[in-house]
A and B are shown apart, each in its own frame.
Chain A
Amino acid sequence: MFNLSSLVQKAQSFIDPTQALNISASDRNPAKSTLFRHQFRLPDSQTPLQEITAELTISPPVAYSPNATQGEKDKDRDRGYHYAGKLHLSESYLCFSTQPTSFLQTASTSTSSGFTGQTHGAGPGGNGFTLPLCAIRRVERLHSQSYQFALAITTWNGLSNNAASETSKTPVLVQKITIQLAGTRPACERFCDGLKKGLKSGVGEVAKLKRVVSECYSEYLLQGDGRKEATPPDAGLGMIFRYPGDAKKLRDRSKMRLWGEYLRDYGRNITLIRQPTYHKLIRVGLPNRLRGEIWEQTSGSLFLRLENPLQYADTLQKFEGRDSLAIDEIEKDLNRSLPEYPGFQSEEGIGRLRRVLTAYSWTNEEVGYCQAMNIVVAALLIYMSESQAFFLLSTLCDRLLPGYYSTTMYGTLLDQRVFESLVEKTMPILWDHLVKADVQLSVVSLPWFLSLYINSMPLVFAFRVLDVFFLEGPKVLFQVGLAILRINGEDLLDASDDGAFISVLKSYFSKLDESAHPKSENSKLRAVTRFQELMVVAFKEFSGITQSTISEQRMKHKDSVLNSIENFAKRTSIRNLGPESKRLGVEDLGALYDRFFGVLYERQMRSQMILEETERRSKASRSRAAEVVHGLPENQVIEKGRVGLGPSPTLMDYDGFREFLSGMARWAISDSPSPSEKDSVSVTPKHSYFGNSLRRREASLSPWSEGNPEPADHEFMQRLFRRWDVDCNSSLTLQNVVTGLAQIKGKGDIMGSITYFFELYDDDGDGKVNREGILRISEALLFLSRRGLEGSLTPSSSMVGLSEYEAGNGAQVDMIQGNTNERFLSSVSAFIRRCFEYADPDHPTNQEEKSASEEKEKEVDNNAFDIGEDSDEEEDLLDLGPDAPPKSPKHRKKSTGLGGPPSPQKATRPGGRSVSIAQAEAANAALDPSKPLHITLPTFRMVVLADELLEQFFESSFPTSFRISDKMPTPGASGTSSLTTFSNLGFGRASTAPPNGIAVGGSTAGVVPPSKGLRGVLDNIVTDGMRVAAEVRRRMDEAQKEMEKNAVHRPDEDEEEEEVVIGPRDPERKSVRSEDRDLLEGADAEVMSIRGSEDIAKEKNESLSLTAGSNAGRLRRGSAASSKVVEFER
C-alpha cells in the first residue's frame, strides 16, 4: 500500500544533505554537478568535466603587442596578483576559484561543498573568474623554466569597443591572465586537451557574446572617447525616472569612479576577475548605473542570458495575446507594485513590469505568478533592462529562493521555520519571550524573505541588502533578519503582543539612516548609521550563519513543513469536493485522496526515473569520454509530483486508474503479470520507450510500482473509466473519482447499483443493451468475481434469511466462500440465458398491439416484459406449453397490467391464434444471432433479482469490492488456483453434453492441450479477459443456434431445449420455472410500486402471493425467488 511519508523518507536518504531544495531532475549526477553550478553560478547545462590545481596571476592590462618578446612576456607574468586555487572546466566555462572545492567523483561531500561554508564576504565563487569559453580569444602555452605548465589567456575583454577603437586614440587594452597548472604532466595535458575542445566549440558563440555584452553598462562606461555618440545601454527605469535616494548622499559618483577603475583593470561583465576589492566595492553599495549589471554577474543570471540572449523577446512574441490565470493575477497587481516610485506611476514602468512578469509566467508555468514577485521585479526594473530582469527573476525563483513562489510556497514556509529555529538557537531569551507572548514572528519575517526586504526597509537600504544577497546567496536574508532582531532585542523583549512587536520594528526601519550611536563622544562612532550597524552585525556577528547552516536546517524541517502543507491541501480539497462526496465518509474521502495522489505521485516518480535511466544510458553509449565524472550514477531523487512541492499532477490517465483500482479492488489485479519475455505493449505501454537495450533492468524499470501487484486491464475497467470521466478528456480528477465511487458505494441500494451497471453498458444511452452488451456484462461479472465475492453473501440456499445480512461473517463466509463462488458462476450462466430469453428484438415483427407509442418510449418497464407486454400474446405463448400450470396465465395477465397503465383492451380481449403465432416468431427472432436484440433496464433488473447471488452481488459484493480505507484482503498466494472457474460447475458439464461439441476446440484449441478438455479451456479463459469474451460469446452463439434449431423443429418446446443447453434436466423444472417467472414479475412489480402507481400496487398485491407489496417485502420475496432458482440450477 502506498505510504507517502515512507516513500519520502526513502527518497530523502538519497539526497545530498547540502542540497535540501535544489533538486534538479535533468541531471544524472546531481550532487556534484549541482554543487559545481552553484559555486560558479552556472546554468544547468554545465557539468564539471575537468579540474586541476593552479595558480592565477593577474597582471594589469597591457597594450596589445603581438610582437612582444619572450622576455617581455615573462616580465608581465611576474608582476600583478597571484591566487592559488583550482581551475575547473565545464562544457562551456573555464572557472577559477580560490575556494579549494573539488567535484571529482571521489571527493568527499564536504570538499565538494566547501563554498557553502564561511566565505568572508567573497561569495561562493571566492576570488577568481567564471569565464565563458567563447570569451577567450587566445590561449598560449608558455615555456618557462620555473613552471612546468603555464597558460596565457587572452580574452575578448572590451570586445564591443573594437570597432570604435580604430577611430579612438586610446589604445585597446588587452586583458591577459596567466595560469600555472600544478599537476602531473599527463594531467596537465589532459586538461589542455579538454580546454582546446571546449574552445573550438565556443567559437560559434562569439556573436551571442557580443550581443549580451553590448547590453552591459560597463561597456559604455569604459568606451573612452567614443562615448558621446552612443546611447547608453538600458540601466533600468532609474535612467528615466531617477534612481531612488540622494545620489550625493549615496556617494554615487565616487563609487562609479572606483568601479570604472576596477573594471578597466580586471575585466568587465563577462571577463571580470573577482578580487578582494570587487567584494568590498559590493559591500559598500553599488552605484546606480552599474547595479543591475553587477547583480546579474554575481547571481549568474548573466550566464543564463548568454546562453539564450533572445529568450525574453522570443517568449513574449510566442505568447503574445494569450491569456492565463497568471496574467489575470499579474494585472491585478501591476498598479500595486512600488506605487510610490514615479516609474510605476507611468505606462512605461507598468508596461515593463507587465512584460517581465508575463514572460516569466510563461517560461515557468508551474510558478506562474506569485504576489511579491511584482514587488521584487519592480525593484529590479529600476536598475536593469527588461531582459536582464527576466533572467534575474529566473535565477531568483530557480536558485536563490527555491520554492518561495511556488503554488504551495513551501520554500517560504520552510525558510520561516528555519529562521525561527535560528532565532531560537542564537537568541534563546528573545525566543522564549516570543513564545510566551504568543507573538507570531513570521508576520514580520515572512515579507522580509518573500520580497527581499524591499517593502520592509526604505528602498535604498533594501537595495544594499540585495547587493550582498546576489553575491553571497540566500544566507544573507537570514543574517540580516537575525541582526534586526538582535539589534532590537531589548525593545522586543518589552513588546508583549504582536502589535507592539510590529511597531518596534516598524519604527526601527524608519530610522535606518540615523546614527546608531547619536550620543557617542566619538564623532566617528556617531557617523555610523543604523544601517551600517545592521550590516556589521549581520555579517560579523552572524558570520557563522553560512549556506550550509541553512541547508542543514532546511533538511531538518522539510518533512514537517511539507506534511503540514499537504494536510492543509488535503483538507481543503476534500472540503471542496461537492455534495456527491458526502455519500462517502470523511475517512473514506481522506483515504481516497491519499490513494489518488499516491498513485499519481508514484507514477510520476517512476516515469521520471525511467526517463533518467533511459537518458543516462543513451548518454553513456553516446560518449564515454567524460574523464572526471564517471563512475556509478548516484541515486537520483526526484520529488517532482509531491503535492507539497507545488503544482503536482491532478489528472489520472487510464493506466493510473488501473493502478488506482488495483490498490483497492482485488479484481483489478492482473492474473498474469506481464512476463518479461512477452512484450505486452497493451498492458505496459511504456515499455516501448526502451526497445531492446533495457531488457536487463526491466524489473526496476517497470511502469508499475515495485512490490505492488500489476493492475489488470479489462473492458469493464475501461468502461468504468469512461463513465467516471465526465469531462471526456481521458483523465480523471479527484472529483471524478470521488463522484464515481460515491455513485457505486454511496447508494446503498441495490436498484441504484443495478442501474449503474446497466448504464455502464448502455453505450448510446438509449436504455437498451444489445447482444454484445449482454455478453460483455457477463464477462464483467466473471471478471469481477474471479477472485471470489466479497460483502454479505448467503452462505447457502438452506440458510436463506438467516445470514443474508450478516456482513462478512469471518470464518463462516470463508468456509462457504468456495461454494459461493462456484454458485456465482452458475448464476452468471443463468443470467446470460435469461437475458436472451427475455430480450426484446430490436425490430419487433408484430407491433400492431402497441396501442401507444409513447407508452413504449416513456415506460421503460413496458419493455421489460416485451414478451408479456404485448399482453395477450404472452398468455397464448404460455398456453402453447404443454405443462403450463393452470395458474400461470392468470398471473401473467395480472402482471402484464403492471407493465403500464392498465389497458382495457388487454383485460377484455381474448388471445387469438394469429397473435400467438406472431409472438412465437418474435421469440424465435430474439434467439437468432443474426437478428439484433436488446434488453432494457427493467429486464436487466428482473434477471438480476431472479438470482439470489446476483442480487447479492449488486447489493453488496460489487460496492464492497472497492475497499477505500480498509485493507484489501491479499489474493491467494497461488494466483490462478484461487480463481474460480466454470470448470467446477454444472455449467461445464452441461456444455459438454450437446452433440455438436461446442466446448472444446475452436480458437483456443491451440493454447490449451485438448487433453485438458473443457476444464482446461475454462481455467485458462478466466485468466484472460479477452478470451473469456470470445469463449462466452462463441458459446452463447452456439447455444442460440441450438435453441433456434429446436425452436424450428419443435416450437412448443423451445424453453425446454434452452434448458438442455445450459442446465441439467430436472423433472421439476417446469413448475419451478413458472413460479420463478412469477417472482420475476413480482420483482418488476416491486419496481413499479416504488414508482408510486396506485393501481399497480393494488394489482400486484392481488396477483403476487409471495410479495408483501412493500419495500420490506422485496427482501423476502427476493430470497425466496433466489432459493428456488438455486434449486432449479441443481
Chain B
Amino acid sequence: MAEATAPKPSSSVKLVLLGEAAVGKSSLVLRFVNNDFQENKEPTIGAAFLTQKCNLPTRTIKFEIWDTAGQERFASLAPMYYRNAQSALVVYDLTKPTSLIKAKHWVAELQRQASPGIVIALVGNKLDLTNETSSSNSLSEDGDEEVAEGDDTDGDARKVSTAEAKSYAIEEGLLFFETSAKNGTNVTEVFTAIANAIPETSLKGARGPGAAQTASRSEDQSRVNLTGPRDNVSKEGCAC
C-alpha cells in the first residue's frame, strides 16, 4: 500500500480473536500480520499479542491484536483479553458446525460483557476446504486453490452454509466474512472492514498533528463507565 506523503492520523484499535480451538484464529492473524501460513501451528496457550497497521484512505489504524486460546476451558481467561476491546473477530470453522455454536456463545458473551459498541465480525474460516469457486473478490492464486482441493479428497467439506451464518450475522448486527488463512482469501478484507466500522469517536491514541489532545481526552471520557481501576490509562506514547 502506498504511503501518503503527509502523515495520516493514526490510532490504535484493540481487537480480540475468539472462537473454538483450531478454527484458525492464530493462522488468520499470522496471515494478516506476516502474510504467512503454517500448517502445524502450535495451539495458543493463554493468549498471544501482535500488532499490525491497516491503512485506510483517511487514517492509519494500528491493530493491537489479542489472539486467544480456543479450548473451552480457557474461556474463563477470555474476559482478561476482551476487556476494553473495540473490536472482535469471532471465528468458526466452516467445516465444523459445532464451532459456529461456540461462536454464537462468544457473540452473546461479547454483547453482554464487552465494551458497548464493540464491532464484531463473524468469520467462517477454512474456505479453501470447500470446492466452491469462490465468490470472493480477492482469490488471486489459482495454485493455492488446487492444493486445497487436493487436500480434500472428496470435495466439499463445508458443513455450515453461508446463508445460515450470514442470516445469523445480520440478525445480530455483525460483519460477516468467509475466509481462508491458508490461501489468504478475504483476510485483509476482514480487518479493513473492521477498521472502517470503528466509529471515529471511539478511536484512541489519535496521533495526527494537533488532533492528539482532544481526541484522547474525549475518548477517556467516553470510556469512564466501563473502566476498571487500571483502565483510564491512555495508550499515548506507544512507539510503533
Contact = CB atoms under 8 A, between A and B. Distances in A.
Nearest to A647: B73
B77 A446 contact: yes
A337 B40 CA distance: 8
Interface stretch (B42-50, B126-134, B169-177, B190-198): B42-50
B64 A499 contact: yes
A575 B238 contact: no
Given A339-B40, A370-B71, A496-B237, A571 B113 contact: yes
A576 interface: yes
B235 interface: yes
A187 interface: no
Residue with the highest number of chain B CB atoms closer than 10 Å, among A374, A443, A497, A568: A497
A409 B238 CA distance: 33
Contacts of B48: 443
Interface in A571-621: 571-572, 575-576
A332 B22 contact: yes
Contacts of A497: 64, 235, 238
Contacts of A436: 233
Contact of A407 (B45, B73, B105, B235): B73
Contacts of A498: 49, 64
19 contacts: A333-B43, A336-B41, A336-B43, A371-B21, A372-B45, A409-B74, A413-B76, A438-B231, A438-B233, A443-B47, A443-B49, A443-B81, A447-B46, A497-B238, A498-B49, A499-B64, A568-B79, A571-B112, A575-B108
Contacts of B77: 409, 413, 442, 446
B212 interface: no
A358 interface: no
Given A335-B39, A336-B42, 4 more contacts: A371-B21, A371-B69, A409-B73, A443-B66
Nearest to A450: B45
A338 B50 CA distance: 21
Interface in A494-511: 496-500, 502
Nearest to B42: A336
A374 B45 CA distance: 11
Contacts of A571: 109, 112-113
B22 A435 contact: no
A447 B47 CA distance: 8
A210 to B, nearest CB: 40
Contacts of A446: 45-47, 77
Contact of A371 (B43, B50, B76, B239): B43
Q: Which of B45, B80, B108, B240 has the most CB of A within 10 A?
A: B45
Contacts of A335: 39-40
Interface string A447-464: 100110001000000000
A437 B45 contact: no
A440 interface: yes
A676 B45 CA distance: 54
B98 to A, nearest CB: 10
Given A370-B71, A569-B76, A572-B105, A455 B45 contact: yes
Interface string B200-240: 00000000000000000000000000000011010101111
A371 B74 contact: yes
Given A371-B69, A406-B73, A438-B230, A499 B42 contact: no
A443 B66 CA distance: 9
A727 interface: no
A562 to B, nearest CB: 11
A371 B64 contact: no
Given A497-B238, A575-B109, A440 B73 contact: no
Nearest to A447: B45
Interface of B: 21-22, 38-51, 64, 66, 69-77, 79-81, 105, 108-109, 112-113, 230-231, 233, 235, 237-240
Nearest to A575: B108
Nearest to A561: B76
Contacts of B72: 407
A443 B81 CA distance: 9
A332 B64 CA distance: 27
Contacts of A442: 46, 77, 80
A407 B77 CA distance: 12
A500 B231 contact: no
Interface in A1060-1093: none
Interface string A317-346: 000000000000100110111110000000
Contacts of B69: 371
State the 9 A-B residue pairs at the shortest beta-carbon distance, nearest first.
A446-B46, A339-B40, A447-B45, A371-B43, A332-B22, A335-B40, A438-B233, A371-B71, A497-B238
B71 A329 contact: yes
B133 to A, nearest CB: 29
Contact of A443 (B21, B43, B46, B230): B46
Residue among B39, B74, B112, B237 with max Cβ neighbours from chain A (10 Å): B74
Given A497-B238, A499-B238, A409 B76 contact: yes
Contacts of A406: 73
Contact of A575 (B22, B112, B231): B112
Of the listed residues A338, A406, A576, the one surrounded by the most CB atoms of chain B closer than 10 A to its CB is A576
A374 B43 contact: yes
A447 to B, nearest CB: 4
A1130 to B, nearest CB: 56
Contacts of A568: 75-76, 79
A496 B205 CA distance: 13
Given A370-B73, A575-B109, A499 B46 contact: no
A551 interface: no
Nearest to B240: A499
A572 B71 contact: no
A333 B40 CA distance: 9
Contact of B46 (A332, A338, A408, A450): A450
A408 B76 contact: yes
A572 B109 contact: yes
A451 B42 CA distance: 12
A1028 interface: no
Contact of A440 (B21, B40, B80, B240): B80
Given A408-B73, A437-B233, A336 B47 contact: no
B135 to A, nearest CB: 29
Nearest to A332: B22
A565 interface: yes
Interface centre among B38, B42, B44, B74 (most CB of A within 10 A): B42
Contacts of A455: 42, 45
B71 A435 contact: no
Contacts of A440: 80-81
A375 interface: yes
B114 to A, nearest CB: 12
A499 B45 contact: no
A502 B49 contact: yes
Contact of A500 (B43, B81, B233, B239): B239
Given A409-B76, A442-B80, A568-B79, A375 B71 contact: no
B208 to A, nearest CB: 19
Nearest to A410: B76
Contacts of A576: 105, 108
B17 to A, nearest CB: 13
Contacts of A375: 42, 45
A498 B41 CA distance: 23
Interface in A416-437: 435-437
B15 to A, nearest CB: 13
B105 A575 contact: yes
B74 to A, nearest CB: 7
Which of B41, B46, B81: most chain A CB closer than 10 A?
A: B46
A576 B22 CA distance: 22
A421 to B, nearest CB: 15
Contacts of A438: 230-231, 233, 235
Contacts of B231: 438
A496 B73 contact: no
Interface string A371-394: 110110000000000000000000
